Amino acid sequence: MQDDATATTHGLEIEQRVVDTLYGRLDALRAEAEARLGEVRREGPSGSPQNRSERDAFATLYEDRIAQLDAVEDRLCFGRLDMTAGDTLYVGRIGLSDEEHVPLLTDWRAPAARAFYSATAANPGGVMNRRHLTTRGRTVTAVEDDVLDVEALRASGREGTLAGEGALLAALDARRTGRMGDIVATIQAEQDAVIRAPIEGALVVQGGPGTGKTAVALHRAAYLLYHHREQLERRGVLLIGPSRQFLRYIDHVLPSLGETGAVSTTLAGLVKGVAITAVESDEVASIKGRTDMATVIKKAVRERQRVPRGDQKVRIDGRTVVIRRSDIRDAQARARRDGRPHNEARATFAKDMISRLTTQLVEQLEQTLDAEDRVEVEREIRDNKNIRIAINLCWLPLTPAQLLRDLFSKAHLLDNAAPGLSEAERALLLRPASAPFTDADVPLLDEAAELLGDMPGGGPRADQSDLTAEELQYAKDVIESFGAHTMIKVDAETLASRMRGTESRLSVAERAAADRSWTYGHVVVDEAQELSPMAWRMLVRRCPTRSFTIVGDVAQTASAAGARWWPEAMDPVFGAHWNLRELTVSYRIPSAVAEAAQSFARAAGLPVSDMSAARDVDDAVAYHRADDAVSRATAQALERQAWLDQGDGGLVAVIAPESLAPQVRERLGDGSPIEVIGAVAAKGLEFDVAVVLEPTLIATRPGDLYVSLTRPTRHLDVVHTGALPVGLG
């Protein structure tokens, strides 16, 4: 019988040989892709347009393949399953096979790998041993076994080295880097159940701080892209985050999982050409977030389709034509009939009015005109300045920004468009035309864009028409004659879309950015509790199938228009087609931090979920009372940073009220590695140490303090001058 040290050493040697083989295959595939890409590029732009299109399509595919192989370089393989049937399965970031197509590595998203996350001693599912591999670079540094079927393992003649959760705890104890790390090697059973849930309908994932909601949502996006590629590849997955800072924090996770078919942005990022530079007050945000604002915007658009108070006479070459109110009403009604947006329907209205005026003028002439002469008369009508002005005043094209600026700066327009709002509410909405757009304006701008459509001459939308049978057949022929001899496995639809033209070879993100009306195959929404009913209207437009992954925590809601209870927010949007899953274990924050935060949250009446913490950290929470709280918080942050720097490093953040943050930044000085951040901006982020400054000021919105208290993975320092909020300390 080997002792533990010998067994561990032997296990490391065995796994190192396997990992060396896997990286050797990865290098070979990368070299092959690079060689074929080089061949394609050396051929140059010669040949027929069709030949050039084929080369461009395959060049793009090779580039994508190289990017995928590069992205999985770190921790390529992280697990092994020993099955009672006698076979051994290695699990990693992507699937790999040797030159004879014998599987070497199983993709973590594949059905065969599910047991790595779901098998337990009570229900091993044919697994007798699960091994976790820890690597640094291409070197195996540790192995750890979960023995799930002891008798089967002994009968096989194998032995496990350890039992426990070392791999998980090592990942949890790792220092923060300012970027989210993927959890693919340490996904737990309740997280795995969420990741692999069916794509149909909306899945709402409720979980307290540190339960891995964001990471689970990203891994679910990768899983869905893998298993529903035909459905999602051309449409893509839309990921909505609360802030640009948050998106920078998570931006590399999906590529590291081998998926790049996701578009990540904020709600404001979906509205092009308008800068959002202000935050609305709670009172105004609450009004603008209500769904009856959709009716207000609709009426505001309709108000721009006007009928003048009287008929207007216009002289043309000594004759008079009359722009009649009755003709205007009839032409407007006809233009609205086909349901096109305001700016597009205006062309129908203008054409109708010019035709009516042309008929008037022709009837005054004493001769019969042929078609060519009538066209000339029509041109005279269309080019007349007074007629152009009159038609524009009756149906003026405008942008969403122009509509909102006018609506909120002119009391009479708001009164006409919003009779259902109280006088006090309309007064709150009024502001100068020069006022900046706010976060609460974003869904209203999008609603207006939907009703207005593109401005005349705005350019064509990206081509999203279905591929023709001829295009698909030609792509199949190309694959049979050329693509079958490459190691890239590509379906005919993907190749055909790449071959359609330059625009089709753009990424999903680039095509979506060019088309406001782009619809996605699936939408992932993080910090979803902050979204207003109007924001949900905005997102559902982007995914008519209503296939959503929605993650959040109603106890952390900060927005006045956000959700306090999931059914209240989800039922109007998804009806019966949504399900709620809960994550109950906090893997990030220490138990003492979780207890302190939940104690405050319950005292404040926040709807916190039941949650247990996975680990304990000594002296994880400390309270510091000081006359000069800013100085004490600064000193505490510097002390914690020095402590971290003595080890492997890490991140320290001071979470401060907006009024005190500038003072902290000034005392820390330029170039300090310590982050100074407000509670709203800290949402979704994590730090090794969080220093929460003046919690009573932050607690004016209880959810903000709950967020602030739950950011650290090692230590929480609370610095205050007066009494602490009820439930804290």
pLDDT at 78: 87
Least trusted range by pLDDT, from 26-30, 174-178, 511-515: 174-178
- Percentage of the chain with pLDDT > 70? 84
- Judged against a pLDDT cut of 80, whether residue 441 lies above it is answered with yes
pLDDT at 238: 92
Q: Which residue has the higher pLDDT, 261 or 443?
A: 443
Listing DSSP states for 675-725 in one string gives EEE-HHHHTT--EEEEEEE-HHHHTTSHHHHHHHHT-EEEEEEEEESSPPP
- Judged against a pLDDT cut of 80, whether residue 505 lies above it is answered with no
Contact 128, 84 (CB under 8 A): yes
pLDDT at 455: 85
Q: What is the pLDDT of residues 208-261, one digit of tens each?
A: 888 889 888 988 988 898 888 877 877 888 999 988 888 888 877 777 776 767
pLDDT at 118: 82
Round the CA-based radius of gyration of the chain to a whole number and report it. Answer: 31
pLDDT at 186: 72
Closest-CA residue to 720 (of 597, 712, 728)? 728
pLDDT class of 509 with cuts at 50, 70, 90: low
Q: What is the pLDDT of residues 338-354, one digit of tens each?
A: 889 999 999 999 999 99
Strand pairing category for 578-583 and 103-107: unpaired
What the block records as the tokens of 626 is 């000081």
Mean pLDDT (whole number) for 510-535:
88
d(CA 406, CA 396): 13
Contact 209, 597 (CB under 8 A): yes
The stretches of 253-370 forming alpha helices (DSSP H) are: 253-256, 282-288, 292-302, 325-336, 342-364
What the block records as the tokens of 388 is 């152009």
Residues facing residue 395 across a β-bridge? 305
pLDDT class of 504 with cuts at 50, 70, 90: very low
pLDDT at 1: 41
Q: Delineate the domains of the chain, giving CATH numbers in brackets.
A: 4-164 (no CATH), 189-272+505-585 (3.40.50.300), 282-431 (no CATH), 589-720 (3.40.50.300)
Q: What is the pLDDT of residues 448-481, one digit of tens each?
A: 999 999 887 654 443 444 556 666 666 666 556 5
Q: What is the pLDDT of residues 601-632, one digit of tens each?
A: 999 999 888 888 878 889 999 999 999 999 99
Q: What is the pLDDT of residues 529-573, one digit of tens each?
A: 999 999 999 999 999 899 999 999 999 888 899 999 999 999 999
Residue 149 CB partners (closer than 8 Å, separation 6+): 84, 121, 124, 127, 128, 129
Q: What are the φ and ψ backbone dihedral angles of 352, each rounded to 5 degrees?
A: -65, -45
Helices 442-452 and 342-364: crossing angle, nearest 10°? 30
Torsion of CA 615, 701, 583, 533, to 10 degrees: -160
- Judged against a pLDDT cut of 70, whether residue 308 lies above it is answered with yes
Q: What is the pLDDT of residues 123-154, one digit of tens each?
A: 888 888 888 888 888 999 888 888 877 676 66
Q: What are the φ and ψ backbone dihedral angles of 399, each rounded to 5 degrees?
A: -95, 160
pLDDT class of 119 with cuts at 50, 70, 90: confident
